Structure 1
């Protein structure tokens, strides 16, 4: 909906309740203009791979809780997304290893 059409619609409205109607029309117009932009958000496969590699190099800072029993506040740790992913994978593997080890009995 172009601004000229919105302008014509606003001019034809009666004086009573014009402010509410104007707000409604402008809201609808903004929704119509913004809605198609989401339809083009898909990226081709080649760009997706390039985007993933740039995301892997992006620096991500996370707030870590303080050690238990201390008065030291939380601290921020900054790493690349690839480092965070690797750390998460290593932690997951360690937890699985510990769980597997607990299933075996030591014998009697």
Structure 2
């Protein structure tokens, strides 16, 4: 069974890209981690699968929009908090594209518009 690059991408995103390449503060990295904890839990429940079984195909624009809606409705997050979470997801989408995740290309392009 070929390993899915999703887990590897997430690991490199947090271990190298954010703190080393982008030199983001520990608080920002922590905020991004919180976003992914919530996202992975949401996607796991949405697709009724375990978190370790999630793959690139689960990280789609539709799922992202459902997640953001969930944050506002179920968790009572403000638009500002939701937009901070969206920034983390867009950053990951751009990172995944740069890391040549070809299976992720269509979804990442829709999650991270140019500009």
Give TM-score, length-normalised by structure 2.
0.28
Indicate the structure (1 or 2) with the bigger Cα radius of gyration.
1
Give TM-score, length-normalised by structure 1.
0.29
Name whichever structure is richer in helix by fraction: 2
Name whichever structure is richer in strand by fraction: 1
